[in-house]
Structure 1
Amino acid sequence: MTEPLAIGIAGMISTACEGRLTPEEILGSDISLSALGVTSLAVLRLIDAVEERFDVLLDLGGSAAYLDSFPLLVGHVDATLASRVVVVEIARSR
């Protein structure tokens, strides 16, 4: 997990929760987002913000375990962004 990415997503969660959680509270947590008090409406706001900012699709269908906790969400976004870098590097090397 990259620190700048984690800080950015923690800020997005805080904004989605209308400030009821601080980024610091989110960064220090390892419990589920719902246990932190993140509502389903806040999750929808968060999904919109992450998809818009990082151009990463967060699918609610199927196995969306990455929406269960902050570390899983950051890990999912980080892995998705990293896979794009690899594809671009491979394409450039051809």
Structure 2
Amino acid sequence: MKERLAELVSESCDGELTPADVLAATVPLAYLGVTSLAQMRLIDAIEREYGVEVDLSGDVTFLDSVDGLASWVEAARSAA
């Protein structure tokens, strides 16, 4: 799942980051150049790909890393 999420991050920022860059990140993705627009694209892609809904009024710090994204998606899918 992490590999696919890294691909989605890369696609969301128009290839500015490679999936390998995303997976190797040791800082929040925003520090690597993932903009708010790219985050919105990523959220849309995650919702379509995994059939979940991201609540933007809640805590969205899971968007900071692939590990956070993977944990959030797994939890959201098991809660559905």
TM superposition score normalised by structure 2: 0.89
Aligned: 1:35 with 2:31: yes
TM superposition score normalised by structure 1: 0.77
Aligned residues: 80
For residues 10-21 of structure 1, the aligned pairs below 5 Å read 10-21=6-17
CA distance in 2, matches of 1:62, 1:68: 14
CA RMSD of aligned residues (A): 1.5
The one-letter amino acid paired with 1:23 is P
Q: Percent identity?
A: 41
Moved over 4 A (4+): none
Q: Which structure 2 segments of 5+ residues have no match?
A: none
For residues 49-88 of structure 1, the aligned pairs below 5 Å read 49-81=45-77, 83=78
Q: Which structure 1 segments of 5+ residues have no match?
A: 88-94
Structure index of larger Rg? 1
